[in-house]
């Protein structure tokens, strides 16, 4: 970031030069996105295929309850922090003018139905590329007059049309992978060849991830450098980014040290500090991963 600030004021690179500087970082993002789908499918199928139906059902129920409970708490905490700190760029709020607001109509029911449409996609290959979303469209219908049969009139009606948007349908892929993994686990030795296939695929993907991680420092460097050079108002962006990072760090600290600690104490009835002491060594192994995630988050925010 420091080098980017220095180059911005000293060299004043053109948009073409900034584009070329950002290219190695673009390659990193493409490589990571390339592995998302095979990583999700292979890891889920491999993990669930090794469990029996009774164990996987019980574990899945507990995991679902835990996920819903912690997600609800995290959402409430996030809303409170966002309303308190107001992270993000103030220029977004200032640039919204009357008449330029998106008038696309959405409802809770439409979002709920879209959720289930994406959970059960009609084409698993298409789910790798697109997901469904409801759109409201106005159509004109010609109708007959009730009192004068020979007279007709045009009537405008609003209909809901499910359309496809360019975005990976992760929910559909997860549902499909869970179903495949559970069925393979029930089949036992009949599905042994398929289980070995997904185990090998998962190992191949993990090795590819390790190879990409060697390239990640260089890719992240050019990602951040290109985005810093592309910033118009550096002072305002730095202020907004600082507030955003404060909100994220504060939210993670409260959620991990407060919410999750309280849940662990209530459900397990054990001292949470002994648990934290046990995972203290493991946390050091995650520093490199968190370091990468931090810079990737900064790139997205910029």
pLDDT above 60 (res 90):
no
pLDDT digits (tens, 9 = 90+) for 255-284: 888 888 888 888 888 877 777 776 665 555
pLDDT tens digits for range 167-186: 888 888 988 988 888 888 88
Burial class for 216, CB neighbours closer than 10 Å (0-12, 13-18, 19+): buried
Mean pLDDT of the 116-143 span: 83
CA-to-CA distance for 212 and 32, rounded, in angstroms? 8
Paired residues of 216 in beta bridges? none
pLDDT confidence band for 151 (50 / 70 / 90): low
Helices and strands in the chain: count of H runs, count of E runs:
13, 2
Q: How far apart are the C-alpha atoms of 229 and 187, rounded to whole Å?
A: 56
- The pLDDT, as a whole number, for residue 200 is 94
pLDDT (average), residues 91-109? 55
Fold entry, domain 2-94+101-129+168-301: 1.10.3860
pLDDT at site 53: 59
- Give the global pTM: 0.64
The residue that leads in pLDDT, 194 or 99, is: 194
Interval 200-206 mean pLDDT: 92
Residues listed for the chain: 302
């Amino acid at each position: 970031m420091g080098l980017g600030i220095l180059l911005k004021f000293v060299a004043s690179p053109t948009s073409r030069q900034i584009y070329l500087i950002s290219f190695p970082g673009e390659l990193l993002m493409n490589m990571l996105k390339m592995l998302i789908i095979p990583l999700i499918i292979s890891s889920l199928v491999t993990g669930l295929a090794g469990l029996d139906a009774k164990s996987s059902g019980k574990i899945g129920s507990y995991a679902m309850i835990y996920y819903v409970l912690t997600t609800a708490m995290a959402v409430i905490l996030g809303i409170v922090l966002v309303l308190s700190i107001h992270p993000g760029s103030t220029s977004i709020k200032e640039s919204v003018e009357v008449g330029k607001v998106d008038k696309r109509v959405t409802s809770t029911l439409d979002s709920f139905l879209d959720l289930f449409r994406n959970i059960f996609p009609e084409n698993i290959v298409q789910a790798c590329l697109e997901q469904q979303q409801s759109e409201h469209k106005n159509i004109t219908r010609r109708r007959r007059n009730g009192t004068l049969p020979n007279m007709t009139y045009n009537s405008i009606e609003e209909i809901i049309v499910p359309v496809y948007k360019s975005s990976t349908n992760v929910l559909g892929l997860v549902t499909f992978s869970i179903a495949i993994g559970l069925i393979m686990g029930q089949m036992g030795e009949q599905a042994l060849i398929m289980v070995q296939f997904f185990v090998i695929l998962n190992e191949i993907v993990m090795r590819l991830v390790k190879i990409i991680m060697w390239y990640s420092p260089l890719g992240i460097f050019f990602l951040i450098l290109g985005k810093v050079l592309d910033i118009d108002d550096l002072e305002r962006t730095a202020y907004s980014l600082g507030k955003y990072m404060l909100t994220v760090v504060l939210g993670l600290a409260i959620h991990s040290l407060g919410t999750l600690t309280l849940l662990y104490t209530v459900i397990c009835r054990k001292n949470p500090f002994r648990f934290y002491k046990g995972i203290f060594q493991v946390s050091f192994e995650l520093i490199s991963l968190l370091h990468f995630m931090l810079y990737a988050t900064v790139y997205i925010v910029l």
